[in-house]
Structure 1
Amino acid sequence: MKIAIVTDSTAYIPEDLLEKYDIHTIPLSVVMGDETYRENVDITTEEFFEKMAQMDTLPSTSQPSIGDYILLLESLYRDGYTDVLSFHLSAELSGTYQNAVAAGRSVEGINVHVIDSQIACLVQGFMPLYAAQHKDSMPLEDIIAEVEEMKKKENMNAYLIVDTLTNLQKGGRLSNAQALVGSLLKVKPILEFQDGKIVPYEKIRTKKKAKKKVEEIFAEEVRRHEGKDITAAVIHSNVEEEGREWMNELQEQFPQVNFILSYFGPVIATHLGEGALGLGYTTYDVKID
């Protein structure tokens, strides 16, 4: 048995970790005007933000086609892989998971096991990283059972702080009036994942207070899982310095937690906008260095 680990680009796993653990990725795309860009292939995150700032309308996003996925699976089959563990962002947010399932049924000779992570960004990426780190020491069935347990809310979650309501308004998720009032009041919504959906957790008046609230939530989770090796990611939307500063503060508060700095790439940033921050974690020990 030879197992390949696959994920999509919205996991935003650092390139060095992708190479170290031999994780394959398939990109989602952003559509900006008449151009379509595969994230991290045709456009960098920095270029995306530059282009988005010049647009009056919100970019749109698209999942990989079934054909693209079939090409990847056929390539893995030719390389001698017998099984594929494929992890994707929540099926509630994208059709990527469904297309992966359909592609897996279309390619003979290779067994494709598709996992709906029910989350996104590097917190999603913790799952393929964990699988890749155990694929040579754990039976396939046990890895699948472990990651299915890992993705449960009590073992994995993420909280997102939206800095500007502009993208939510442009995307039709917020009326112009609501966006105006929210901006005037400096409302910073905190969002979380529930059953694969992004839902409101609480509305906070300032970003500083929103970060403090997320820290309180996280502190309770750390206490509840005392003794476990918690892995956490601080995620930023084109505000790296702010994200790094927050991560350093969190590291001082929670020295027992293993932190990594990550980012919202083009597909996710399309919906959250610039300036967003996130804190995501898993109670599983994932090697991130």
Structure 2
Amino acid sequence: MPGSYASYRCAVLATSSSSLTEMTDRDSLIQILPLGVKTGWSELADGVEISNWEYCLWRKNHLDEPTATTPPPQQLMRNTFQYLHKQGYRAAIVITLSEILSDTAEVVRNLAQEMPELKIHVVDSGICCMPEGFFALEAQRLLDAGKSPLETVACLERLKPGSNIIFGLTSLKPLSLSGTLTRLGASFSDWLGLRTTLRFSDGRLTRLGSVSDDGEMFKDITANVKKLMADKPAEDFVISGLYSGDSAFYRRFAGFFRQETGLDLGKGLPVSAAVAVHVGISGVGVGLVEKAAG
């Protein structure tokens, strides 16, 4: 197995909300724990049995039906940890989406008590999508460089304040139907059908503004990303375009963003089906992580 001795002895895992299936290849050492996605009477494994495209297709025909997500199955996680121990691992770093969105972090902490032979470090990223995925990629990089699990976790904790998602939604209804607003302690509501721009960072959701059309939403997202970057070099950040649903809608946004900033977001990363449960099927945004020194 490639990598340093430290990497071999410590595994890295992440939840399916991390967009890692879009960012890594089959040879990646990072293991993915799939969240559950409830659609009607079914519960499907995120990223395995249902994709963003498939979820959005279903949702278009079931706009008023409540949906929800569940943590990865406990037995699946238990089997995974037992397998890692049998393979010679003595530690694991598990990156989870924000604890405010999912109970996954708490479930993993409870499972860790069953397996004292495998030291499990749970890192609540405080976020989801590409920024969450970067936490896992950075954990693997640091372990490969010879950092201990504890040193790696400390480095990941320093990433949290500089991790953000700035996104725009054509409707806040999905956030309400999924129970996300209640869980976040927020009380936003749609204002006369206006688009809404929001910021999600370190487990907190903030309304940035309400605008009249797509063009104004693109402008608002871009302005807030530029504000977060605060004239620092682009090299200080890991940045990616995100979308749910219509890829053509995303391409319009990415073109506008490139024109205004000179930064190419590329083809973008569709959010996982589990994230789409929360944000809906028509949204675009930017995931942004400021790199931590060292």
TM class, shorter-chain normalised? 0.7 to 0.9
The SS at the match of 1:203 is: strand
Alignment counterpart, residue 84 of structure 1, candidates 88, 92, 97: 92
Equivalent AA in structure 2 for residue 99 of structure 1: V
Q: Tell whether the 8 Å contact from 1:93 to 1:197 is kept in structure 2 after alignment.
A: no
Residue 206 (structure 2) aligned to one of 181, 187, 199: 199
Deviation (angstroms), 1:252? 5.0
Q: Deviations over 1:39-63 (max 9, x none)?
A: 1111222222222222241222211
TM-score by length of 1: 0.86
Cα distance in 2, alignment partners of residues 15 and 212 from structure 1? 26
Give 1:75's aligned residue.
83
After superposition, the Cα gap between the structure-2 partners of 1:101 and 1:259, relative to the gap in structure 1 and judged at 3 Å, is farther
Does 1:190 find its partner at 2:197? yes
* Comparing 38-47 and 273-282, the one that deviates more: 38-47
Match of residue 106 from structure 1? 114
- Residue 257 of structure 2 is matched in structure 1 by 250
Identity rate, percent: 19
In structure 1, the gaps of 5 or more residues are none
1:225 to 2:232 alignment = yes
Structure 2 contact 218–257 (Cα < 8 Å) conserved: no
SS, match of residue 48 in structure 2? coil
Q: Is the 8 A contact 2:175 2:279 kept in 1?
A: yes
Determine which of 264, 281, 288 is the counterpart of 1:274.
Answer: 281
Ranked by relative contact order (alpha carbons within 8 Å, sequence separation 6 or more), the top structure is 2
The structure 2 residue matched to 1:170, chosen from 166, 177, 194, is 177
Q: 1:145 to 1:70 in 2, by over 3 A?
A: same
Contact 1:157 1:192 in 2 (8 A): yes
Moved more, 236-245 or 223-232: 223-232
Check conservation: 1:159, 1:278, Cα contact below 8 A. yes
2-structure distance, mates of 1:138, 1:193: 32
Residue 13 of structure 1 aligns with which residue?
20
Q: C-alpha separation between the residues in 2 aligned to 1:11 and 1:213? A: 25
2:3 corresponds in structure 1 to none
| Amino acid paired to 2:90 | T
Structure 2, unmatched stretches of 5+, are: 1-5, 183-188
Judged with a 3 Å threshold, the aligned counterparts in structure 2 of structure 1 residues 265 and 15 are, in CA distance, closer, same or farther, namely closer
Cα distance in structure 1, aligned partners of 2:12 and 2:285: 25
Deviates more, 1:48-57 or 1:124-133: 48-57
For 1:42, what is the secondary structure of its paired residue? coil
Please, what TM-score do these two structures have when normalized by structure 2? Answer: 0.85
Shift of 1:21: 3.3
Task: Choose from 157, 164, 172 the match for 1:148.
Answer: 157
Which has the higher mean CA deviation after the structures are superposed, 192-201 or 163-172? 163-172
CA 1:259–1:101 in structure 2 vs 1: closer, same or farther (change >3 Å)? Answer: farther
The equivalent residue for 2:166 is: 159
Change in 2 beyond 3 A, CA 1:15/1:266: closer
- Give the AA of the match of 1:50: L
